[in-house]
Amino acid sequence: MIALSLAEIAEAIGGELRLAGTDTAGTVVDGTVDTDSRTMGPRSIFVAKPGAETDGHHFVGAAVDAGAALAIVEHAVDVEVSQIVVADAVVALGALAREVVRRVREKGDLKIVGITGSNGKTTTKNFLARILSDEGETVAPVKSFNNEVGAPVTMLRVTETTRFLVSEFGAAAPGSIAHLAGLVEPDVAVVLMVGMAHAGGFGGIEETAKAKSELVAAARATGTAVLNVDDARVAAMRDLAESRGMRVVGFGQSPVAEVRAQGIEVSASGTRCVIESAGRSIPLDLRVLGAHHITNALAAIAAAGVLGVSAEDAVARLETVEIAERWRMQPLGNERVRIINDAYNASPDSMAAALRTLAQITGPDERTVAVLGAMSELGESAGEEHDRIGLLAVRLNIRRIVVVGPEARRLYLSAVGEGSWDSEAVHLPDQDAAFEYLRSELRDGDRVLVKSSNSVGLRHLGDRLGELFS
């Protein structure tokens, strides 16, 4: 974080400053800001966030032992450290992020990109950060830090020398993206897609679309909206962007896209296509598996272009990326048994894309094996969407469908009903049972996809299988 005095921080977050030791109102802090006491270092700020399972106030002492010089708390604690008492620690965290970004923007040439979408946010963030890092100091979230805590924590990593801030915005509820994006007012607003992910929490896909459009509404009116023109709900956000005076850049496979892909080819070694931009044709050889990641690459190339990076440079940098992120289409195993661990998250769209990729990269003498868990946060659509994935797996001729956990049983029943009989589809109660089954079932030539929502935890099963066949 940039250097700020205790008094400046207290004013920014509207809290009551209580000094300790030799501190004065002018004492300066400039270290890490986080809700995790384990990340503290010299002159850090610990935000004591109450939680469902534990209370950050219990860890103020540990944070101070690790180097924290200030605690932001909702009630004073009996620890020898200066404290700022606020009504809501998470709101205070956001307010501090807003102030820090404002100051950096005033003094420098900081450009901010906001990314949202039902799928692909983290991959696109990683792609764009890779492209921009060669242009100047770039701050981007660790993993999927895109909520009311993770997004501000990322914002607070900017300093006077930061040139680009790439923010990822998830939507926990209507208004979430508006709040988070409103903290920084991005110069570039990237909307990837509107899908069924989290639709249960919004009351349907149209409400999800409204939530995603909050990013366009919160961006700077002098900025640019980078929109997926292949998704009708995203493409419709052009009207909102143009009504605010924003420039619009479209990406996708449609002929109307300013940055588009043609000739997509998927193999076990990656994904190839030709990028068309400003009258130029640029071959892209992406090491990341899956045709759906071309959409994420297009978004990153388009956003980088808005910030002055040529498509040729953007493509060259993307070709150095080996995996999108751990547990996202991550290749494991060996030549005999290849494991694709894509179980960090799952929605109907990403589940379908992963299954299609599995089918595409498996040769005629190889066997497809899909290890599937439940998709969460689908609300009333959960049963229907699990049915759809079971049907798709059979229609793609996935040879072994291994369904794990009681929440995914309907997927298994759907596959059986579609004709996956005679042990082609099995239902197992948990990860341990699945591991034991797969250890004896997998054979040379198998290509294995592991896919589920994060809450199911099949990513750990994918890791175990990767180690088994390493």
What are 268-311's pLDDT values in tens digits?
A: 889 999 999 999 999 999 999 999 999 999 999 999 999 999 99
pLDDT tens column, 65-79: 999 999 999 999 999
Q: Which CATH class is domain 4-86?
A: alpha beta
Query: For residue 106, with 0-12 CB atoms within 10 Å meaning exposed, 13-18 middle and 19 or more buried, which class applies?
Result: exposed
**Residue labelled with tokens 């592991």:** 450
Give residue 366's identity as a one-letter amino acid code.
E
Tell me the pLDDT band of 30, cut-offs 50, 70 and 90: very high
Tell me the pLDDT band of 340, cut-offs 50, 70 and 90: very high
Binding residues: 117-123
Q: Candidates 3.40.50.300, 3.40.640.10, 3.40.190.10, 3.40.1190.10; correct CATH number of 108-318?
A: 3.40.1190.10
| pLDDT, averaged across the chain | 94
Per-residue pLDDT averaged across 411-422, rounded? Answer: 87
Binding residues for ATP: 117-123
Nearest to 327 by CA among 417, 234, 458: 458
Nearest to 273 by CA among 287, 284, 259: 284
Alpha-carbon distance 250 to 230, whole Å? 9
Residue 198's pLDDT is 53
Residue 144's pLDDT is 77
The structural domains of the chain, with segments of one domain joined by +, span 4-86, 108-318, 330-468
**Between β-strands 446-451 and 367-372, what pairing exists: parallel, antiparallel or unpaired?**
parallel
Percent of the chain scoring above 70 in pLDDT? 98
Alpha-carbon distance 48 to 377, whole Å? 28
Residue 365's pLDDT is 92
Give the residue with greater pLDDT, 422 vs 319: 319
Per-residue pLDDT averaged across 308-337, rounded? Answer: 92
Alpha-carbon distance 11 to 106, whole Å? 18
**Between β-strands 367-372 and 400-404, what pairing exists: parallel, antiparallel or unpaired?**
parallel
Percent of the chain scoring above 90 in pLDDT? 86
Angle between helices 311-318 and 292-306 (to 10 degrees): 140
Residue 53's pLDDT is 82
Residue 202's pLDDT is 62
Per-residue pLDDT averaged across 392-411, rounded? Answer: 96
Q: Are the beta carbons of 17 and 58 closer than 8 angstroms?
A: no
Residue 361's pLDDT is 93
Residue 345's pLDDT is 86
If DSSP states are collapsed to H, E and C, what string results for the chain? CCCEEHHHHHHHHCCEEECCCCCCCCCEECCCEECCHHHCCCCEEEECCECCCCEHHHHHHHHHHCCEEEEEECCCCCCCCEEEECCCHHHHHHHHHHHHHHHHHHHCCCEEEEEECCCCHHHHHHHHHHHHHCCCCEECCCCCCCCCCHHHHHHCCCCCCCCEEEEECCCCCCCHHHHHHHCCCCCEEEECCCCCCCHHHHCCHHHHHHHHHHHHHHCCCCCEEEEECCCHHHHCCHHHHHHCCCEEEEEECCCCCCEEEEEEEEECCEEEEEEEECCEEEEEEECCCCCHHHHHHHHHHHHHHHCCCCHHHHHHHHCCCCCCECCECEEEECCCEEEEECCCCCCHHHHHHHHHHHHHHCCCCCEEEEEECCCCCCHHHHHHHHHHHHHHHHHCCCCEEEEECHHHHHHHHHHHHHCCCCCCEEEECCHHHHHHHHHHHCCCCEEEEEECCHHHCHHHHHHHHHHHCC
Per-residue pLDDT averaged across 114-128, rounded? Answer: 94
Gap between the terminal Cα atoms of the chain:
41
Please give the torsion angle defined by the CA atoms of residues 94, 100, 103 and 105, in that order, rounded to the nearest 10 degrees.
-80
Nearest to 93 by CA among 137, 120, 56: 56
Find all residues with CB under 8 Å of 335, minimum gap 6, and list them.
none
Greatest mean pLDDT range, 139-143, 238-242, 373-377, 378-382: 238-242
pLDDT tens column, 195-230: 765 555 566 888 889 999 999 999 999 999 999 999
Please, what is the Cα angle at 304 between 300 and 305, to 5 degrees?
Answer: 115
Residue 196's pLDDT is 65
Residue 156's pLDDT is 97
Nearest to 297 by CA among 267, 274, 268: 274
- Span 330-468 CATH architecture: Alpha-Beta Complex (3.90)
Q: What is the pTM of this model?
A: 0.89
pLDDT tens column, 127-161: 999 999 999 999 999 877 889 999 999 999 999 99
Query: For residue 143, with 0-12 CB atoms within 10 Å meaning exposed, 13-18 middle and 19 or more buried, which class applies?
Result: middle
Supply φ then ψ for residue 441, to 5 degrees: -90, -40
Tell me the pLDDT band of 50, cut-offs 50, 70 and 90: very high
Q: Are the beta carbons of 48 and 60 closer than 8 angstroms?
A: yes
